[in-house]
Amino acid sequence: MGRQQADGRAALCSRTAWKGVLAGVLATVVLATSAATAYALLGHEAPDFALRAVNGNNVRLSEHRGDVVVLSFWGSRCGQCRTQLAALDRSFKTYHSAGLQVFGVNVDDDQGGALEFARTQALGFPLLLDPQKAVARAYQVDNLPMTVLIDRGGAVRQVHRDFSSKFEPAYLQQLRVLLNE
């Protein structure tokens, strides 16, 4: 292979690599921008609510000011929701003593199915019922599972509209930042 041909291939590979890097950066910026613009509550006070837990107790969000709160919106027919609730339970058990509170908010139409699902889960945090979906509307739930991280001052700081084990390390990092504030 001649020197000109080798230089040409190196330049092409370099341009291709840069195009890939730029496409990745652009995708990250677009996703971050669309997530911020699509979720108007980011940076604002989390809407207060009171819901009944599966165990019969009532839970009011405002009573947990001073804690970092994770709200996980779930449905009984959502396979990813089951996996996410188990992951959140591990986080809850690890960080509860540092001021973490987790609430699973059910959005099922079929409350009987929601209760049956909830009774089969061995979770350390409360599962709440939102039969009229008022809380889901207030938090603009458009996908399940959806997770909202609320800081100690009551502001919405992070929103995750999907769950995958590959995102768990990023979620844990965000959680640790909130717990250390």
Q: Residue 166 — very low, low, confident or very high, per pLDDT cuts 50/70/90?
A: low
Question: Mean pLDDT of all residues in the chain?
Answer: 82
Cα distances (Å, whole numbers) of residue 98 to 21, 150, 153, 175, 180: 38, 15, 15, 11, 9
What's the CATH fold of domain 50-180?
Answer: Glutaredoxin (3.40.30)
pLDDT over 70 at 122, yes or no: yes
pLDDT over 60 at 8, yes or no: no
Q: What is the pLDDT of residue 174?
A: 93
pLDDT (mean) for 92-107: 97
pLDDT over 80 at 95, yes or no: yes
Q: Which residues are within 8 A (CB) of 164 and not within 5 positions of it... i.e. 6 or more apart? A: 80
pLDDT (mean) for 12-36: 38
List, for residues 129-153, the tens digit of each pLDDT value: 999 999 999 999 998 999 999 999 9
pLDDT (mean) for 65-79: 95
